Chains A and B, each alone.
Chain A
């Protein structure tokens, strides 16, 4: 696993067998950048946003997901689990997430796929082969590949190798990023990426730390680097509308102030919050936003108009 962790020396190594860990590849993605795209969901993210809608992408290591509706109570998992982490209380299954070593044996034996390991290793070669399958679609539609996650920059060595291959094949690359990476790492990717789908969440650093677990310093810095390099026009900002967290008048005003100074940037995608309790349940993860309401249509319209008011092209839903 060590090869996929942070490495400042990543550019010095060129190897097709470098491995990364991803959790999904979606083809015919039509909301992740221009044209028809293939979106690669990479595992691992330095942020722990309360509202994260891809919680299976947060950890770099594999996760065990449990789809209760698929379980037929065969209890095979109980029999095979080497750490006795799974037990049945009558009809109801419980997974002790502390005992679970995520070895995946239960998932292998589970006949229905109710237990499933999320995250799998791929080599650069394997991933690029998948991406290349839809080149005809990208060509025809002006699409390409989008790396999302998780935070793709969390696996820089792997990502770098994949991007090199995409470039060689003339494939348009979009990076759906939190912007959180040490600037010296971030800079290494600027020339490899055609379009940045760049998240801006909270402008107040204290708030940012509270709700995402990290400071927004890198995020602001990296964005500044992009602008400096004249790449503002290859940035689409993405603003998650989380009621009472990012969606406060204060944050909105600060957002407006901040982004209106970003030279070349002219599009903001407004991403409304939705409750994904189910996913967290399946992962056995704590979800702080359970039961929170999605922003109303009126509110989204308000935000949209506000952003349009300072000259941005705004899409709801990306």
Chain B
């Protein structure tokens, strides 16, 4: 590399680093401790849960009450560490990044623990005691009894065949349903209010109700967990009071005393101040993530909305300054970063290869009454995000036409720092999606995005993601008449010998048949899993907070929420589109090759067919270039997927409507590994396209063409669609450029785009990071709906990110 490029890289690197500046020494210390903490498996929860079930206390109790008593036992016995200098207490686990396990959901084998501990990327250290405990206590007790075991025992063979083939993944095989976010209920209600609600509800119950028993037991369980979280807070209050007595530093002593006071007040009572609101939420967050290991952790949702009344009042009454609010928020940020994802193994690890647990803080958008929701805190949160640059929490900037440009530009300024945050969402489009699904306008306006790009009504909806679907693999099975060529096993339907197809429509017809088949099996599996979770794993604590579980006296996992949705996440839209386009263009229309030739080339992974591959890559229309020829097919595929999935009747217990999302997390890497060469020129094993982005490097007509192509698809019929774009740093270098980018994004949203997120990083910097990982430990990049440390990513994912097209300033 030349000296000049070195200088350029250093400038880029220095610039990136210069923006990380926690506001003061306290926060800097907390941040450092969090960022540098080693991720470990903490056996405490597993031990306590096992102890509880062995103790016999659960005997004779209903399942919800058993689960509630288990939660109570946890809240009474888990460690209550206080990080030195922290302002907010409570942590899931025995310390920062000490991650508990959930053996009742997924019991790790000794082999799992060893792999977790020794793997190069994303390790979870496991100490000897933990291993011993697992060997002697945890595994013997839970083996065959965990949800994972129960689920696999009940799933039919067709399901397992497709799963092993890599047609789909299953979200609930190691982690519990979650996929929801906090609404304003959390910030308005104390436990005592909730207990009143429970009491009233119990009184209302009538023995004539055929569900009387189920409802009563659920309500009893709710009561137990409500008391339990108050006990957890009291334990902290006691500890903090003791610490205050022993503290020598006067300022810290006073802080500890105040913290103890706060813990005496919340969560029993509704919060009164900004500080109390954060602590109150955090207790609930910890409770929910201790109860189970829900997907996407949990999130306070529209944080600028929820906190604003406290902020405004505190400032007015002189209790708070903007600086103090920022300090509290930054301390709050660290709390999220201290809770990495639970240890994942097997396919679940492959599909979600990250420590990131996807707590997503939303800002902007509209208020429930339809007015602009941007407030002072929206900006303050952007500032916190910019200064902290921690992997967690994630954020989402909700962009409505009613929001000022200034807000969007400020968000883009943060984007320009290059760590991948924040992503931008079309809020007005999200409302349309929610209304189409039958939500009330007011509820729709309280929606937001959680996880990666998943849209839901916050605080009122269970929008469960059930797993990724490998679209290109289904084409591969179609082209092999039902057989998976990787294993030689028949996994699909016999939809005809593709060599005999005379028209492109015949191919599409066969593909759609195959899709229908696989989606119906996937949904059948989802239904079985839903029934099992409803029966065996109620979540009374989560149910306290999501409307209308309490009102319905029904658990979150049994359909208690006001709205219930069940999603399948589609992966590889770009690869599939380009593959179909290639067959249409080269085989059926130009007749450049016969289907027979293409199938042979694919089976040989293009060995000896490089010219064909090059023609597919370079001389064939591609999705993402504003070329109707290709884009029309993408649109058609999405329409077909929506039609198939929505055509399947609602789920059995939750009566959830079925919908589609387009997002991959890291499943596009896993699916790529199990999918042979595809007719778009992709070689076997290479990653699939991610989200709804064009195939990596195939969008050659610039960012506007990408936006136009993507916006041709009717995303309003889906729950969301993830689009990644990579920009060179010069595109967001000054105010003028940022303004233009803001205008471009607004136009994209007007046209119907759902989401876009940016990597602002040069390919050279990423290459250099591959060469010298030790010097680039802090280099964060956008992966899918989240950011992660580049050097921690598996090589395949690193390459995939580098291969994404880089848009430059023209």
Q: A residues near B, CB below 8 A?
A: 26-32, 35-36, 39, 70, 72, 74, 76, 111-113, 133-134, 136-137, 140-141
Determine whether the beta carbon of B810 is less than 8 Å from that of A140.
no
Within B710-751, which residues are at the interface with A (CB < 8 Å)?
731, 736-737, 739-740, 743-744, 746-747, 750-751
Residues on B with beta carbons closer than 8 Å to the beta carbon of A39: 810
Q: How far is the CB of B730 from chain A (nearest CB, A)?
A: 10
Q: Given A27-B704, A35-B743, 20 more contacts at CB 8 Å? A: A27-B702, A28-B702, A28-B740, A30-B731, A30-B736, A30-B737, A30-B740, A30-B810, A36-B740, A36-B744, A74-B610, A74-B611, A76-B611, A112-B617, A113-B618, A134-B704, A137-B744, A140-B746, A141-B743, A141-B744
* Of listed A26, A28, A140, A141, residue having the most chain B CB within 10 A: A28
Residues on B with beta carbons closer than 8 Å to the beta carbon of A72: 610-611, 614
A29-B810, A30-B740, A113-B618 known; A137 vs B626 contact (CB < 8 Å): no
Determine whether the beta carbon of A111 is less than 8 Å from that of B615.
yes
Residues on B with beta carbons closer than 8 Å to the beta carbon of A76: 611
Q: How far is the CB of B228 from chain A (nearest CB, A)?
A: 53
Q: How far is the CA of A276 from the CA of B478 in the complex (A)?
A: 48
Residues on B with beta carbons closer than 8 Å to the beta carbon of A113: 618-619
Determine whether the beta carbon of A111 is less than 8 Å from that of B744.
no
Q: Assess whether B196 is interfacial by the CB under 8 Å rule.
A: no
Q: Assess whether B396 is interfacial by the CB under 8 Å rule.
A: no
Q: Which residue of B lies closest to A113 (CB)?
A: B618
Q: B residues near A, CB below 8 A?
A: 610-615, 617-619, 626, 701-705, 708, 731, 736-737, 739-740, 743-744, 746-747, 750-751, 809-810
Determine whether the beta carbon of B704 is less than 8 Å from that of A137.
yes
Contact residues of B: prevailing secondary structure: helix
Determine whether the beta carbon of A28 is less than 8 Å from that of B704.
yes
Residues on B with beta carbons closer than 8 Å to the beta carbon of A31: 809-810
Q: How far is the CB of A192 from chain B (nearest CB, A)?
A: 24
Q: How far is the CA of A27 from the CA of B736 in the complex (A)?
A: 17
19 CB contacts below 8 A, A to B, read A27-B705, A28-B703, A28-B810, A30-B731, A30-B809, A35-B740, A72-B610, A72-B611, A74-B611, A76-B611, A111-B610, A111-B612, A112-B614, A112-B617, A113-B619, A136-B750, A137-B704, A141-B743, A141-B744
Q: How far is the CA of A76 from the CA of B619 in the complex (A)?
A: 14
7 closest A-B pairs by beta carbon, nearest first, are: A111-B614, A27-B704, A113-B618, A141-B743, A29-B810, A112-B614, A28-B704
Q: How far is the CA of A209 from the CA of B402 in the complex (A)?
A: 56
Q: How far is the CA of A70 from the CA of B615 in the complex (A)?
A: 12
Residues on A with beta carbons closer than 8 Å to the beta carbon of B744: 28, 36, 137, 141
Residues on B with beta carbons closer than 8 Å to the beta carbon of A137: 704, 743-744, 747
Residues on B with beta carbons closer than 8 Å to the beta carbon of A141: 739-740, 743-744
Residues on A with beta carbons closer than 8 Å to the beta carbon of B617: 112
Q: How far is the CB of A277 from chain B (nearest CB, A)?
A: 15
Q: How far is the CB of B606 from chain A (nearest CB, A)?
A: 12
Determine whether the beta carbon of A26 is less than 8 Å from that of B743.
no
Q: How far is the CA of A72 from the CA of B746 in the complex (A)?
A: 42
In-complex Cβ contact of B743 among A27, A133, A140 (8 A): A140
Q: How far is the CB of A291 from chain B (nearest CB, A)?
A: 15
Residues on A with beta carbons closer than 8 Å to the beta carbon of B809: 30-31
Q: How far is the CA of A30 from the CA of B735 in the complex (A)?
A: 12
Q: How far is the CA of A35 from the CA of B615 in the complex (A)?
A: 37
Residues on B with beta carbons closer than 8 Å to the beta carbon of A26: 702, 810
Residues on A with beta carbons closer than 8 Å to the beta carbon of B611: 72, 74, 76, 111
Q: How far is the CA of A140 from the CA of B746 in the complex (A)?
A: 9
Q: How far is the CA of A27 from the CA of B702 in the complex (A)?
A: 7
* Of listed A26, A72, A136, residue having the most chain B CB within 10 A: A136
Q: How far is the CA of A95 from the CA of B613 in the complex (A)?
A: 25
Q: How far is the CA of A36 from the CA of B731 in the complex (A)?
A: 12
Q: How far is the CA of A72 from the CA of B615 in the complex (A)?
A: 12
Q: Which residue of A lies closest to B751 (CB)?
A: A136
Q: How far is the CA of A28 from the CA of B611 in the complex (A)?
A: 33
Q: How far is the CA of A33 from the CA of B747 in the complex (A)?
A: 19
Q: How far is the CA of A31 from the CA of B613 in the complex (A)?
A: 37
Q: How far is the CA of A76 from the CA of B612 in the complex (A)?
A: 12
Q: Which residue of B lies closest to A38 (CB)?
A: B704
Q: How far is the CA of A212 from the CA of B701 in the complex (A)?
A: 32
Residues on A with beta carbons closer than 8 Å to the beta carbon of B750: 136
Determine whether the beta carbon of A133 is less than 8 Å from that of B626.
yes
Q: How far is the CB of B613 from chain A (nearest CB, A)?
A: 8
Residues on A with beta carbons closer than 8 Å to the beta carbon of B618: 70, 111-113
Q: How far is the CA of A28 from the CA of B702 in the complex (A)?
A: 8
Q: How far is the CA of A141 from the CA of B746 in the complex (A)?
A: 10
Q: Which residue of B lies closest to A28 (CB)?
A: B704
Q: How far is the CA of A136 from the CA of B746 in the complex (A)?
A: 10
Q: How far is the CA of A58 from the CA of B747 in the complex (A)?
A: 35
Residues on B with beta carbons closer than 8 Å to the beta carbon of A32: 810
A111-B614, A134-B704 known; A36 vs B743 contact (CB < 8 Å): yes
Q: How far is the CA of A35 from the CA of B702 in the complex (A)?
A: 17
Q: How far is the CB of A185 from chain B (nearest CB, A)?
A: 28
Q: How far is the CB of A107 from chain B (nearest CB, A)?
A: 10
Q: Which residue of A lies closest to B611 (CB)?
A: A111
Q: How far is the CA of A113 from the CA of B739 in the complex (A)?
A: 36
Residues on A with beta carbons closer than 8 Å to the beta carbon of B731: 30
